[in-house]
Amino acid sequence: MTRRPACAAFVALLLALAGCSTVPGSSATVQITQEPDRSSEVEGLEPIGPEEGASPEEIVRRFIDAAASTARQHPVAREFLTPAAKDAWSDETGITVIGADYATVTEGTGSEGSATVRVTADLLGTVDPRGVFSIGTEERFSHEFPLEQVGGEWRISDPPEGLVMLEPDFERLYDERAVFFIDPTQQRVVPDPRYVIRGDAQPTTLVDRLIAGPSPALEAGVQNLLGDAGLIRKVTVSGLSVTVDLTGISELAAPELSLLSAQLVWTLSQLPGTPSVELLSDGEELNLEGVPPVQSVEDWSEFDPEAAPQGAVGHYVDGGALRLDDGEPAPGPAGQGAYGLQSAAVSADPRTGELSAMVGVTSRDFRTALVVGPYGGDLAEVLPGGAFTAPTVAATRDEFWTVRDGTAVVRVPADGQPQPVNAPTLGALGFASVLQLSPDGVRAAVVVNSNELYVGTVVRAENAPVTLRDLRPVAPSLTGVLDVAWSASDQLLVLASGGPQDGIAPYALGVDGWGLTPVATAGLPGQPTSIAAAPSQQPLVSAGGTGGAGGTMWELSGGTWVTLVRGEQPRPGTEPFFPA
**Residues 113 and 148: beta-carbon distance below 8 Å:** yes
User: Cα–Cα distance between 550 and 547 in angstroms, integer?
Assistant: 9
CA-to-CA separations, 469 to 218, 297, 465, 559, in angstroms, rounded: 10, 31, 12, 37
Rounded CA-CA distance 56/74 in Å is 20
- CATH 3.10.450 positions along the chain are 27-173
Q: Per-residue pLDDT for the chain (580 aa), expressed as one digit of tens each?
A: 755 544 444 444 444 444 333 333 333 333 343 334 454 444 457 899 999 999 999 999 999 999 999 888 999 999 999 999 999 999 988 788 889 999 999 987 766 789 999 999 998 888 888 999 888 877 789 999 999 999 999 999 999 988 999 999 999 999 999 999 999 999 999 999 999 989 999 999 999 999 999 999 999 999 999 999 999 999 999 999 999 999 999 999 999 999 999 999 999 999 999 999 999 999 999 989 999 999 999 999 999 999 988 778 999 999 999 999 999 999 999 999 999 999 999 999 878 889 999 999 998 888 999 999 999 999 999 999 999 999 999 999 999 999 999 999 999 998 889 999 999 999 999 999 999 999 999 999 999 999 999 999 999 998 899 999 999 999 999 999 999 999 999 999 999 999 999 999 999 999 999 999 999 999 999 999 999 999 999 999 999 876 556 799 999 998 999 999 988 999 999 999 999 9
The SS3 of residue 481 is strand
> At the topology level of CATH, where does 27-173 sit?
Nuclear Transport Factor 2; Chain: A, (3.10.450)
Distance (Å) of CA 257 to CA 66, 252, 265, 291: 44, 6, 12, 11
402: phi then psi, degrees, rounded to nearest 5: -155, 165
Indicate the SS3 state at residue 449. Answer: coil
Look at residue 2 in the predicted model and tell me its pLDDT.
57
Question: SS3 for 465?
Answer: coil
Residues 6+ apart with CB under 8 A from 518: 18, 20, 499, 500, 501, 505, 506, 507
Q: Would you say 168 and 99 are in contact if contact means Cβ atoms under 8 Å apart? A: no
